[in-house]
Structure 1
Amino acid sequence: MFAIFASFYVAGRLWQDAQTRVHLIKELDRVTGLGQSAISVDDTLKIIACREKHKKLSALEMDIAAAGKEGFTSKRSSDTDGVVSKRRPLVVIGILTRFGSKNNRDAIRKAWMGSGATLKKMKKEKGIVSRFVIGRSADRGDNLDRSIDDENRQTDDFMILDQVEAPGELPKKAKMFFALAADRWDADFYAKVNDDVYVNIDALGAALTSHLNKPRVYIGCMKSGEVFSEPNHKWYEPDWWKFGDKKSYFRHASGEMYVISGVLAKFISINRNLLRTYAHDDVSAGSWFLGLDAKHVNEGKFCCSSWSTVSKLLLQEVSVSAKMRMLDRSYGLGFFIFSK
């Protein structure tokens, strides 16, 4: 009898200890976040789809409430042709810039981006949002930071990231732009552009409109360039050994300009802490979409090879603003007009 009761007692204590350990492990995972350290691609896409449905439901509820107050009369603004304006931006363009490139930024403002009322008008009428994207100085609060803050107070067209502005940080900078832009604007597309590239806004808008029915689209000048393993090479890739014996990159869009759809931008936003970067931002972006059912669109007008040799020769001795004026006349239908 004593042995039987002792067995029951020991078994009960062991079971109680096991339950206590399970509870402590769950609490530890909840507090530290280790229980959800990674999100699968399927789960991420489900989260995005759920968010989209919630946004559509919220928009419908707002429309119903507004209609009730106004006697079911729509207050949406229209242009001269009677076309209802879009509430949702078509594309958010992030122009990656750096310290010391104010001349490039001023040239872009004068050529196609505009400033002040013009910038707001482009968003309202064409659904295009443009911002210069830059990080912070390694010495926070120095003259470099203050000059950007002063410029932004005058123009109000910057997205200032909370990370160090340095050439080696460009891939992380591009990732943070897509993540923060997706958090801030609910747009159909998001574009990364260098600050020495001219964009034909009308042509870009028309092209992107034709891809609205593709939820996971990745548009750019697609290439699979050589991987360089020599440390002294300009395009050195420290992770060169990961790309196989042939040392060729996977298919990705050239870094001067590429566009991704809203779903892909939201995927980056959700997984920003898990997505790794390589030495170059365009390769890094291409790697993020390898495991997704993304449609790669090779757009020739995003490629430097689409420019004529004559125009390249004519531009060798002219200023940035002159480049824009000359190529605007020569390439009125192109998205890409020049790159230094």
Structure 2
Amino acid sequence: MQTKVSNANRHSGIVIRSRTSTMMLSMFATLASFYVAGRLWQDAEERVLLTKELDRITGQGHSAISVDDTLKIIACREQKKKLSALEMELVAARQEGFVSSHLPEKNSISNKRPLVVIGILTGFSHKSKRDAIRKAWMGAGKVLKKIEDEKGIIARFVIGRRYHFFCFAIFHFFFFNCSLLEVILVVAVSLRFELSCSSNRGDSLDRSIDNENKETNDFLILENHVEALEEQPNKTKSFFAYAAENWDADFFAKINDDVYLNIDALGNTLAGYVDKPRVYVGCMKSGEVFSEQSHRWYEPDWWKFGDGKTYFRHASGEMFVVSKALAKFISINR
């Protein structure tokens, strides 16, 4: 009887120990599972962070980096190391007196691509405004050249030519029903006037601009544009077209001659859009056209906008900027 009891106790003890062992193993397995899962999760997060960091450094965005791209990055790093070593050797050679005559000086003219070409729309009688702009932010002479070389910002006053008597006569013949005899008289007077002028084109206003430009060399004269208030949109288009054909800049800006510009702030702002090919920075105008003369915002040319009497959406304002691609588009489609 005692043997049976002892056997039963021994058996129950074995069962308890086996259950305890099973529970311990289960707890250990659970903890191990949590540990492994945590490590895998941490490794996954680290891989994501590393991928994003590599994308940011190499400029690949959210796309995966291929083997070719990785090899290119490694090659660039090697070239950078070689370049640094060559620069150190060059500095050491200069210290020893070995300086090549072909090396450019520090103050030599930079051939870097201009950031922006600024066209300042001005008029014949606005010399005081031009002088104020030169003193305020544009500069003149060596200062203007320094801004162009160091900051890549080119500024020019934009102006057309005087409204000539011949154009005036033709305009009045078609729009004011002048007699042909009056037109012939006006044309004859204009021809006699131009023959009596000096080699400078146009009247005294044109010559004054030419003389001012000889002193300052900061004008962009649109020879085929006639200065008139109603021709301001065409003047802006002509500037963009001319500038895009003559300067390989990233941006082209139109500004009026009564605006004082912070060129450093402009440069910093435009630098953030260099990688975007089609950019417009400025205001857009649209809305109702008012035909009543008593209205504050009376539009003299209200009849040009049709029955709807609404402005089509267009660039407007004292200043706006377009990228090179848009300036080229204007040049092709003007």
1:210 counterpart (265, 272, 291): 272
1:115 counterpart (140, 165, 173): 140
Corresponding residue for residue 125 of structure 1:
150
Tell me the secondary structure at the aligned position of residue 224 of structure 1. Answer: strand
Tell me the secondary structure at the aligned position of residue 156 of structure 2. Answer: strand
1:252-263 equivalent positions in 2, closer than 5 A = 252-263=314-325
Corresponding residue for residue 206 of structure 2:
145
CA distance in structure 1 between the partners assigned to 2:289 and 2:156 by the alignment: 31
1:96 counterpart (121, 132, 136): 121
The answer to whether the 8 A contact 1:94-1:132 is kept is yes
CA distance in structure 1 between the partners assigned to 2:268 and 2:303 by the alignment: 38
How far the C-alpha of 1:76 sits from its partner, in A, is: 7.6
Corresponding residue for residue 221 of structure 1:
283
1:189 maps to 2:251: yes
The answer to whether the 8 A contact 1:219-1:253 is kept is no
Residue 235 of structure 1 aligns to which amino acid in structure 2? E
Please list every run of 5 or more consecutive structure 2 residues that lacks an aligned counterpart in the other structure.
1-99, 165-200
Deviations 1:213-246 (A, max 9, x none): 211111103342432335786533345434x73x
Corresponding residue for residue 178 of structure 1:
240
CA distance in structure 1 between the partners assigned to 2:265 and 2:142 by the alignment: 22
The answer to whether the 8 A contact 2:236-2:254 is kept is yes
Residue 268 of structure 1 aligns to which amino acid in structure 2? I
Residue 248 of structure 2 aligns to which amino acid in structure 1? D
The answer to whether the 8 A contact 1:95-1:130 is kept is yes
The answer to whether the 8 A contact 2:291-2:298 is kept is no
Comparing 207-216 and 103-112, the one that deviates more: 207-216
CA distance in structure 1 between the partners assigned to 2:242 and 2:103 by the alignment: 30
Corresponding residue for residue 161 of structure 1:
222
The answer to whether the 8 A contact 2:305-2:311 is kept is no
2:301 counterpart (237, 243, 251): 237
CA distance in structure 1 between the partners assigned to 2:315 and 2:235 by the alignment: 17
The answer to whether the 8 A contact 2:119-2:157 is kept is yes
CA distance in structure 2 between the partners assigned to 1:225 and 1:122 by the alignment: 39
Q: 1:181 to 1:165 in 2, by over 3 A?
A: same
TM-score normalized with structure 2 length: 0.53
CA distance in structure 2 between the partners assigned to 1:207 and 1:183 by the alignment: 24
The answer to whether the 8 A contact 1:228-1:240 is kept is no
CA distance in structure 2 between the partners assigned to 1:90 and 1:265 by the alignment: 14
CA distance in structure 2 between the partners assigned to 1:260 and 1:249 by the alignment: 21
Tell me the secondary structure at the aligned position of residue 186 of structure 1. Answer: coil
Tell me the secondary structure at the aligned position of residue 260 of structure 1. Answer: strand
Residue 146 of structure 2 aligns to which amino acid in structure 1? K
Give the percent of matched residue pairs that are identical in Structure 1 and Structure 2: 63
Q: 1:235 to 1:116 in 2, by over 3 A?
A: farther
The answer to whether the 8 A contact 2:158-2:239 is kept is yes
Q: Counting helix residues as a fraction of each chain, which structure ranks higher?
A: 2
CA distance in structure 2 between the partners assigned to 1:160 and 1:108 by the alignment: 18
Higher-Rg structure is 2
| Runs of at least 4 residues off by over 6 Å | 73-79
Residue 220 of structure 1 aligns to which amino acid in structure 2? G
Residue 264 of structure 1 aligns to which amino acid in structure 2? L
Please list every run of 5 or more consecutive structure 1 residues that lacks an aligned counterpart in the other structure.
1-72, 80-84, 273-340
Deviations 1:232-288 (A, max 9, x none): 86533345434x73x43344343200000000001111122xxxxxxxxxxxxxxxx
How many residues are matched? 194
CA distance in structure 2 between the partners assigned to 1:182 and 1:76 by the alignment: 29
How far the C-alpha of 1:169 sits from its partner, in A, is: 1.1
Tell me the secondary structure at the aligned position of residue 249 of structure 1. Answer: strand
Deviations 1:161-203 (A, max 9, x none): 1221111111111110000000110110000000000110000
CA distance in structure 2 between the partners assigned to 1:143 and 1:256 by the alignment: 29
CA distance in structure 2 between the partners assigned to 1:169 and 1:111 by the alignment: 28
1:5-84 equivalent positions in 2, closer than 5 A = none
CA distance in structure 2 between the partners assigned to 1:211 and 1:239 by the alignment: 39
Q: 1:231 to 1:179 in 2, by over 3 A?
A: farther
CA distance in structure 1 between the partners assigned to 2:284 and 2:157 by the alignment: 24
CA distance in structure 2 between the partners assigned to 1:106 and 1:113 by the alignment: 10
Deviations 1:96-148 (A, max 9, x none): 00011000000000000001111111110000000000011123521101110
Tell me the secondary structure at the aligned position of residue 203 of structure 1. Answer: helix
